[in-house]
Amino acid sequence: MTNKRKQIAIIGGGITGLTAAYYLQKNEVDADVTLIEKTDHLGGIIWTERRDGFTIERGPDSFLERKTTAKHLVEDLGLEDKLIRSATGKAFILSQDQLHPMPQGAVMGIPTQLAPFFSSTLFTFKGKLDALKDYTTGKTEVEDDISVGHFFRRRLGDEVVDRLIHPLISGIYAGDIDQLSLKATFPHFLETEKKHGSLIRGLQKSTPKKQTGGQKQGMFLTLEGGLKTLVDGLTDALTCNVRMSTDVSQVEKHDERYLLHINGQEEPLEADYVIATTPHYVTQQLFSEYEFMNELSETKNTSVANVAMAFDEDAVKNLPDGTGFVVSRKEDYRITACTWTFKKWPHTTPEGSVLLRAYVGKPGDEEVLDLSDDEISQLVINDLKKIMTIEDDPKFKLITRLYDAMPQYTVGHLQRLERLEEKVNEQLPGVYLIGNAYRGVGLPDCMDQAIRIVEEIAEK
């Protein structure tokens, strides 16, 4: 007798695959689910290291509370008592060898309060006047898509973009905003402009007073023990078949089903549905016989690295009161940002110590990852010493290289995705492509994509 239950294969055990597996189970979708992960650990890019009393995130460190899916998942797992909110504090911009406080009321760098914007030391007077043209500039003509840079430069001028908006957006996408797609990344700013004829005016109206008047509470959440606690919670909750150290090499369509070929194994795995959450360049290989999958190669990636450094508190001096800084574009620094982790996330650092996390790697400077650990940490320390006093070597340092980890949603991303999805629906029914290369890079965005697919499968 043949087994009539549907077989669902999820390829990739990062947050997208884990979330899909969890909600298939929670929603009692009538199917046998197998989660297949190439490495010997789950969580993908999420990578928490606990060492000498420190909690060090080597990948993402938190999620935005405003995008509610992540918090709901934590609640569903019964982990809400482990949630920890980021501390508030000044964020700085490093420009012209000085740390400038983020102008109060700036929303992704767009001013919403003119007094703090005009008194900011970050911009020249001309740069400030240029930003005011936002009030009078006509609406942006967008046929299909334009770059984020083009949109903001036209409204707010180059200086505000290069000194503030670019580094903030780079903190999310590690990309070049003159290449990034506006429609795929910040469509709501285009909506705001359409509705109010001005970004500043529109955001003044739509931003809650408490936000424009200074952040009262941190916007980011993590869990006690780091994001690994979330991954462990998901792993413990899963009752489906989880196959670790299993490397899918090819997915082949066979009648109405799919055969998943696995490196080093003769027997393929059969499935009715395949949820591919692998990085897009891997997914393209898995389905390499389908030419339309070449759309995926249009999405490039940036490689980044981060350097966590633990010091005795006496070793670091002249650190302004705040949570960290981003570096303006066109500055002579290799680091792109630095978080004063011990201040933003006090639970991560034992008493009497300082934990800093600096970031390197950006379009045009990805070769920094080829340097040795000592070379990377030395260049980070040299950069940091330009703005703070570091009198001793770190107690320890952890350098994490994440190759091709940041997919770039370049202009036309959504159109490419629509073309691709149409072909997949037509020629590979039951195959779903989700994860950070498609509809949002943040952890909650990845979870949203997983939940949407679970709902779609549940309705079949």
Verify binding: residue 61, ligand FAD, rule CB under 6 A. Answer: yes
Largest CA distance in the chain: 79
Binding mask 294-313 for ligand FAD (x = CB under 6 A): ----------x---------
Give the list of residues 6+ apart from residue 95 with CB closer than 8 angstroms, or none: 122, 163, 327, 328, 331
Selected from 338, 414, 424, 441, the binder of ligand FAD by CB under 6 A is 441
Residue 12 makes contact with ligand FAD by CB under 6 A: yes
Shortest Å distance, C-beta 250 to ligand FAD: 9
Please state the closest distance from residue 256 (CB atom) to ligand FAD, in A.
Answer: 23
Residue in 301, 435, 453, 457 binding ligand FAD, rule: CB under 6 A? 435
16, 147, 323, 353: which one binds ligand FAD (CB under 6 A): 16
* Nearest-angstrom CA–CA distance, 227 and 244: 20
User: Contacting ligand FAD (CB under 6 A), which of 9, 20, 35, 59?
Assistant: 59
CA angle 99, 100, 102 (to 5 degrees): 130
Minimum Å gap between C-beta 306 and ligand FAD is 6
Instruction: Based on the shown chain and the rule CB under 6 A, indicate whether residue 158 belongs to the binding site for ligand FAD.
Output: no
The least distance separating ligand FAD from the CB of residue 41, rounded to whole angstroms, comes to: 8
Among 36, 79, 234, 360, binds ligand FAD (CB under 6 A): 36
Question: Which residues, 244 to 263, sit near ligand FAD by CB under 6 A?
Answer: 247-248
Burial 137-153 (b: 16+ CB within 10 A, else e): eeebeeeebbbbbbbbb
Residues 266-295 that bind ligand FAD (CB under 6 A): 277-279, 282
> In this structure, what token pair is assigned to residue 295?
């759309």
Q: Among candidates 432, 440, 322, 336, which has minimal Cα distance to 379?
A: 336
Of 54-62, 78-86, 232-240, 383-391, the window that binds ligand FAD (rule: CB under 6 A) is: 54-62
Tokens found for residue 141? 């003509």
Does residue 309 contact residue 358 with C-beta atoms inside 8 Å?
yes
Question: Alpha-carbon distance 279 to 291, whole Å?
Answer: 18
Q: How far is CA 256 from CA 247, 252, 294, 300, 427, in A?
A: 23, 11, 23, 32, 11
Task: Enter the tokens of residue 289.
Answer: 């016989």
Residues 171-190, interacting with ligand FAD (CB under 6 A): none
Interaction site with ligand FAD (CB under 6 A) = 11-17, 36-39, 44-46, 59-63, 247-248, 277-279, 282, 304, 402, 405-406, 435-436, 441-443, 446
